[in-house]
Amino acid sequence: MVRGDETVQPRAKTFELLVYLVEHRDRVVSKDELREALWPQVAVTENSVMQCVAEARRVLGDDSKEPRFIRTVSKSGYQFIAVVNEDAPAEPRRNGGRPWVWMVAGAAVLAGLVLGASSVRRILQPAEPAWSEVGWWKFEDGAGNRVTDTVGGLSAEVPPEVARVEGIAGKALLFHSPEVVVGGEDSGRLPRGQAPRTLVAWMKAETTNGDSTVLFQQGNPEPYAGADVSDRFYLMLHQSGAAGFGSTNVVVGQKQLTDGKWHQVAGVFEGGVKGLMRLYVDGVEDASPVAVSHPLQESKASGWSMGRGMYTGTSFRGALDDVRVFARPLHGAKIRSLYRCRAGVVDLEVGGRGFYFAPVYGDMVETGPATLRNLGKDFAGAVLVKASTDCSLASTASADMGQDLTIGMDLQLGGADGLVREGGPFFRSRRASPGDGIIGGTSAGFWVHLDSKGQVRVMRLHPMATIAFSEPVSSFDAGAFHRLEARVRGDSLQVSLDGRVVSFDCSGAKRTDVPLASAWEQASPQGHNNGTAGIGFGCSQNRGSAGGQVARNIRVTLGR
């Protein structure tokens, strides 16, 4: 393995441990499992595993107290937590062995870690877990007698009673006959047993068919067979006309879906013995979470079906499109962004292209055309995401808006209660996924914010510091809207408030142009400037107590 200019040669067992952790990165791997996998039929102590983990961390430049690659879970084991990007082009095999893999960790490049028998080069970056789809039926072929998952090739025959119709994206399947099901076996890609998962589908119906019906189901394909029956999850149209998500029991929503319109339904299982199940409809949580009622036992077989349960039940009457499975519990911001992408939402036109807002700092922001509102009482905000026809989860990450741009908005901060609130644009930050934070970590960039005292600050996001500030305005009305505009050009920033250029204190000097130095490039860990831009709301002096800020009439102009 190569790290920068240094050749690192870990012991064979350490290398095997890294491979095993990466291949099973979707879960925590116990020490006992590692011993059985790496030292079969050999009696070794836990210390052997711990030594391999310690060496692996040294090879990766990782820190057990602030892990970026290998996380220790107390009394449970270890988990590989770096991002695995499988979208890179294939890497040729060398010496007839497994494919070579590249890992990027800040400035260090480690070449030579191998992942199973895959022939795809993968780029690993610390910071976020992998969220990619593990199953995705798009129905884009639009004809033929089979449907195939575009991720793992899970395929099934389409009975002649199932018609092809216009869907939310391309073609969809229309189920309109009794006792019709589309489904097949799972080759091992889909989650099993107590593993966390998210099921997502778009549906359109005008009737419940007099019963609760399955939209999509995955898990044990056999009829009731003891404890194995619990290894099954499904999205459903409940007989009440609302959506449902269930396994050993069901969480049922409120919104009525039999209106002949397309709706996104998403079910989330958080994993574990008594894991919570959550239900989302059209990007919004539609019911209180419910815990599974019995421990989930992994069955010997696994399958999937659409339009009816895998072995029995009343058939769904309606259209189905864009069915996906994730081996992760997606929440709020990510599901909402998937919905907004597929629904074709455009919140802002920039340079002739459509963009929509994806929440950051969780999911406590209300989005609309050129408008954002903080619904919570803490940090909130949104990044700009380029509208896409792909609508993979990866495509919902923030867009590169470039290094030179102008962002303006009308801000209402509030403050009649005496609490200080902040709001304004950020730019040149790292690429953020829905729900991420953009302060600290491996971020970069700057945040220009106006507070409810009329003071404007320029914050460097990494390393965190105030690099410029203006004087408060004694007569500032925080209940009114104020026009804030940031003009970014190269290594200089100019800010105007209500049409007047703001004068800042920059290291003791008064000036209207704020120098922008990219200090994150020398920081540890190094920051990433991926051109992310958006709006952030804060309450630095009143965490958990202040919110309600509004930004409207947002405009973004790119270039000099």
Helix axes 46-60, 12-23, angle to 10 degrees: 80
Specify whether 180 is located in the same domain as 297. yes
Whether residue 396 contacts residue 434, with contact meaning beta carbons closer than 8 Å, is answered with yes
Whether residue 466 contacts residue 501, with contact meaning beta carbons closer than 8 Å, is answered with no
Q: Which of 128, 127, 129, 124 shows the shortest CA–CA distance to 113?
A: 124
Specify whether 353 is located in the same domain as 232. no
Q: Which of 36, 78, 41 shows the shortest CA–CA distance to 56?
A: 78
Q: What CATH number has the domain bearing residue 469? A: 2.60.120.560
Specify whether 296 is located in the same domain as 406. no
> What is residue 48's three-state secondary structure?
helix
Q: What CATH number has the domain bearing residue 217? A: 2.60.120.200
Q: Which helix (H) or strand (E) holds 520?
A: none
Whether residue 465 contacts residue 507, with contact meaning beta carbons closer than 8 Å, is answered with no
Specify whether 33 is located in the same domain as 87. yes
User: Which of 90, 109, 125 is the last residue before a domain boundary?
Assistant: 125
Q: Which domain holds residue 41?
A: 2-125
Q: Determine what percent of the chain falls in helix, strand and coil, rounding each to the nearest 5.
A: 10, 40, 50
In the numeric block, the tokens 């455009």 are attached to 346
List strand residue ranges (DSSP E) for 220-345, in order: 232-237, 243-246, 250-252, 263-269, 276-281, 284-285, 290-291, 303-306, 318-326
Specify whether 299 is located in the same domain as 151. yes
Specify whether 176 is located in the same domain as 276. yes
The sign of the dihedral angle between the CA atoms of 387, 390, 395, 399 is negative
Specify whether 519 is located in the same domain as 373. yes
Structure tokens at 163: 């018609």
Peptide bond into 129 cis (omega under 30): no
Interatomic CA distance for residues 154 and 157, integer angstroms: 11
> What is residue 415's three-state secondary structure?
coil
Specify whether 276 is located in the same domain as 410. no
Task: Please tell me the predicted confidence (pLDDT) of residue 119.
Answer: 24
Q: Which of 181, 174, 117, 510 shows the shortest CA–CA distance to 314?
A: 181
Task: Please tell me the predicted confidence (pLDDT) of residue 104.
Answer: 34
List strand residue ranges (DSSP E) for 91-225, in order: 102-105, 108-111, 123-125, 133-137, 146-148, 155-157, 162-166, 171-175, 182-185, 197-204, 213-219
User: Which of 276, 298, 329 is the last residue before a domain boundary?
Assistant: 329
Q: What CATH number has the domain bearing residue 43? A: 1.10.10.10
User: Which of 125, 141, 174 is the last residue before a domain boundary?
Assistant: 125
Task: Please tell me the predicted confidence (pLDDT) of residue 186.
Answer: 86
Beta bridge partners of 337: none
Interatomic CA distance for residues 111 and 120, integer angstroms: 14
Task: Please tell me the predicted confidence (pLDDT) of residue 7.
Answer: 45
Task: Please tell me the predicted confidence (pLDDT) of residue 60.
Answer: 82
Specify whether 263 is located in the same domain as 375. no
* Domains in the chain, number: 3
Interatomic CA distance for residues 529 and 360, integer angstroms: 17
Specify whether 322 is located in the same domain as 346. no
Specify whether 61 is located in the same domain as 198. no
Cα Rg of the chain (Å, integer): 26
Specify whether 211 is located in the same domain as 87. no
Q: What is the pLDDT along the chain (560 residues), one digit of tens a residue?
A: 444 444 455 677 888 888 888 877 767 888 888 888 888 766 777 878 888 898 888 888 788 877 888 988 877 788 888 765 443 333 333 223 333 333 333 323 343 343 332 322 233 333 344 468 999 999 987 677 899 998 888 999 999 899 999 999 889 999 988 878 999 988 778 998 888 999 999 999 999 988 999 999 998 877 665 544 568 899 999 999 999 999 989 999 999 999 999 999 999 999 888 889 999 999 999 999 999 888 787 877 889 999 998 888 899 999 999 999 999 999 899 999 999 999 999 999 999 999 999 999 889 999 999 999 999 999 999 999 999 888 999 899 999 999 999 999 999 998 788 899 999 999 999 999 999 888 777 889 999 999 999 999 999 999 989 999 999 998 899 999 999 999 999 999 999 999 999 999 999 999 999 999 999 988 888 889 999 999 999 998 888 888 999 999 999 999 87
Largest CA distance in the chain: 78
